[in-house]
Structure 1
């Protein structure tokens, strides 16, 4: 049995290192002497008790890049302790695979890639993580080309977002010998890097800001809430409340939006938060909460005298219609139709009438039939009226009564809108099987331009948060605000 150099040196790697250094100074070959004097002792120590910082972890899988200096990779394999070991190697470094197997005593799963093929590393890491989705995985970037190490690090950072048990690791040293141009034996350790998604709230802030900017307020609120737990910094709680307010608004939960909005304004009034970035947009937030309160009052009372509530709800529906757009034309049409209907019902309420019980006199009914026939391009006897006023009936009745807003719309536009409304009634989510075209949806949306108080000189209502001129990103929520 071959003698272990560590035994010859009394178990002292430092003594072996000095022997090695003297032998090199005497003209010996540094690489050959290292393999003879130092490496067997260092390897034996790591086989018995690898040095891992901050502490050993039970990795089930490890993935390593292999270059032309396999010693560090061997230490990383031993430090990771995984049962399944995948090695990304180049054609050149493949010759070190047998030695790596011998040094570590592990079965290896080699994967050949180009030395600069970063995309191949991304694909392999993705494949391996999908193959082992629920176990701790170590990604070791110690060895290999710069492209290989950088690619594995980038893949690790990205995929940690979806596979939280992934850790990036590398073999470091606490002392480097400049004369021998090597780490001093015995000072090596496997470093397990913390997951930046868990360690730094600022990383989550980037995701939260991205989601917030896309209008995915519910998901953004989840990230902001997680940041409170990670950092203990309550400023993120205020951003969470803001995102929850907008999420409730966007899902038409006026009561929930008001509750979150009031709570947020209350927090912003506390001494501790007077300097919070959201207070820079306080007036905008106050206007939005006031609008939401008006919408809530309207929905509870169903009173079209709550003009601000009607206008705010109609504009919210229009924004939602524009947002879903081409992706969901049926839903876009429903939002736009209901928004237009609300605005017309508000105009009708000014006449003291309600669409569900208009109370038409025989004279009004006859005149309405004739007006409706003109819009539909029918003879009056073919124009049908129900007990309630539908959207076209509302348009015709308001024209009949000289409403200045509806009266300003040319008859040709109303006739075009009539065709669109007929298509709406045949839509998949109403009574039929059609999917509205984008042009038809656009006509629904455009029909409100004449009804919206913005176009008539009436008092402006604050925009929805995802509108083009809304606050967008109050306080620009990000790490540190």
Structure 2
């Protein structure tokens, strides 16, 4: 799969020749804004206006940024285990709306589940999306179980093209995968008010 973004070849050449700082600057200055715009145009129709977003944050800010700018949540919670200042700064730079950063002490099932339940008590919307892309595996497992238990949509930002030697997705090939949608996957659980 090829990328049709303007600066992809230049970014790829810099990255492959070890100019990682220049490649990263080019990526965030030139490529990423176009990736966000294309991603929004493709997927924003899949979400409600009253959506709450809960994002799991690891070391890559891009999935959270793509999801947040596409979903445009009324409230956004970002759960992480540690503050990586440069990652948080990237999220702040590119996410249009404010978000609540929640730092948890560990990634045990009980800690994740309890943190998610506390968020649930704070919000009024019944439309909740949990983006599991950036979390550690234990965070993702707990968040997925919670999402199914509480009828949340579960999303994952994936990609169709991968650059093996850089261990990165090919810019412009990002896709939004709705892993679980209770209205579609288990409509029999729908509770009428």
Q: Of 122, 126, 137, which aligns to 2:117?
A: 126
Give the structure 2 partner of residue 117 of structure 1.
108
Provide the rounded CA distance (Å) in 2 between the counterparts of 1:158 and 1:93.
Answer: 30
Structure number, greater radius of gyration: 1
Q: Of 47, 56, 63, which aligns to 1:57?
A: 47
Q: Of 14, 26, 29, which aligns to 2:17?
A: 26
Give the structure 1 partner of residue 33 of structure 2.
44
Instruction: Name the SS of the counterpart of 1:193 in structure 2.
Output: strand
Q: Of 165, 178, 189, which aligns to 1:192?
A: 178
Shift of 1:135: 3.5
Q: Which moved more, 1:167-176 or 1:185-194?
A: 185-194
Normalising to structure 1: TM-score of the pair?
0.35
Deviations 1:397-420 (CA, angstroms, capped at 9, x unpaired): xxxxxxxxxxxxxxxxxxxxxxxx
Shift of 1:55: 4.2
Matched pairs, number: 185
Judged with a 3 Å threshold, the aligned counterparts in structure 2 of structure 1 residues 114 and 125 are, in CA distance, closer, same or farther, namely same
Shift of 1:118: 2.5
Give the structure 2 partner of residue 265 of structure 1.
none
- Structure 2: give runs of 5+ residues left out of the alignment: none
**Structure 1 runs of 4+ off > 6 angstroms?**
none
Shift of 1:182: 1.0
Shift of 1:104: 1.0
Shift of 1:184: 0.7
Q: Of 76, 81, 100, which aligns to 2:72?
A: 81
Q: Give the structure, 1 or 2, with the largest relative contact order (CA under 8 Å, sep 6 or more).
A: 2
Judged with a 3 Å threshold, the aligned counterparts in structure 2 of structure 1 residues 138 and 122 are, in CA distance, closer, same or farther, namely same
- The 5 Å alignment of 1:293-332 reads none
Q: Structure 1 residue 105 and structure 2 residue 96: aligned?
A: yes
Shift of 1:63: 0.6
- Structure 1: give runs of 5+ residues left out of the alignment: 1-11, 161-165, 205-222, 227-481
Deviations 1:140-197 (CA, angstroms, capped at 9, x unpaired): 111021111221111111111xxxxx21111111111223221110111222234257
Judged with a 3 Å threshold, the aligned counterparts in structure 2 of structure 1 residues 52 and 146 are, in CA distance, closer, same or farther, namely farther
Q: Which has the higher strand share?
A: 2
Answer whether contact 1:115 1:147 (CA < 8 A) is retained. Answer: no
Shift of 1:70: 1.4
